[in-house]
Amino acid sequence: MWPILSAITRGFEFVMIPFARLHPWVGLIVVSVATGVVMLLIFGKTSNQQKIAETKDKLKAYIMEMWIFRNDTRIMFGSIGRVILSNLQYLRHSLRPIVFIIVPVIIIMVQLGIRYENEPFMPGDETVVTVKLREGAVPTRTTIELVGAPGAGPESPPLRVDSEGEVRWKLVARLPGSYELSFVLGDEDVITKTMQVGPGHGVDVLSEVRARAGTWDAFLNPGEPPIPRDSTIESIALDYPAGELSLFGLGVHWLISFFIISVAAGFALKGVFGIEV
């Protein structure tokens, strides 16, 4: 799985190169519109366009019937029933294309997430890095050491929480740059975790979690290779500052913006591609 995720991440990095020096909104809008077009084309290729068109025509007719006979209770209730039935038929015709759409959309969301969900630390910022040990490992009985880097390192001894199976360190970001935190467990190989300090370019990859291979967290955080399956460490998580886009002075989450723009683009361009939605 990792070679595929790594290839997708590298490909996405190439796509995002033109937006590296631009405002983060630019890259997000372009990718969202492109996603809307992709969803539209997949919907058109995998759906029964004729049935969808027929169902929409019936739905319009039944709604008009409700309006015309709004004073006739018997006819109006019959029309309401037909409207509900037509909606169910429309959903049935839409279910198949949604199955094909969901996979590429999730992949795009993951790639946007590792670029827009968080912001790099700034010099002087303090944070916590949490190492989750695999089931059965007891933190107070596990030898583990954190070796920092010149620009970022631990500020306190580790806090071992047996009830959570976690070891936590307080870190301070000192100098701008990309650093590797090294976690040494006895005689095991060293497990590292990247840490970004300093202003980014809006589309830089920030890996919040490095997780064990084969886990959902590893899929959601493809910015770093997964932790080997035989390691005592289950995951390493850095508490990065939350990323936020500003629109007219208001903070907007990237995921909400992505959905609104991509869906709006799909509906706006359906006539251009001649696709019934």
Residue type at 198? Answer: G
Domains in the chain, please, with CATH? 2-117+255-273 (no CATH), 126-241 (2.60.40)
Alpha-carbon span 32 to 110, nearest angstrom? 13
Of 193, 115, 117, 99, residue with least CA distance to 154? 193
pLDDT of amino acid 71: 75
CB neighbour list of residue 34: distance below 8 Å, 6 or more residues apart = none
pLDDT per 10-residue tile (average), the chain, 277 residues = 88 89 90 95 90 83 81 78 82 86 94 92 93 92 89 89 95 91 84 88 83 91 92 93 81 91 94 87
Q: How many CB atoms lie within 10 A of CB 98?
A: 15
pLDDT of amino acid 29: 94
pLDDT of amino acid 11: 92
Handedness of CA 5, 43, 30, 248 (dihedral sign): negative
pTM of the prediction?
Answer: 0.85
The DSSP element (H or E) to which 167 belongs, if any, is: strand 166-173
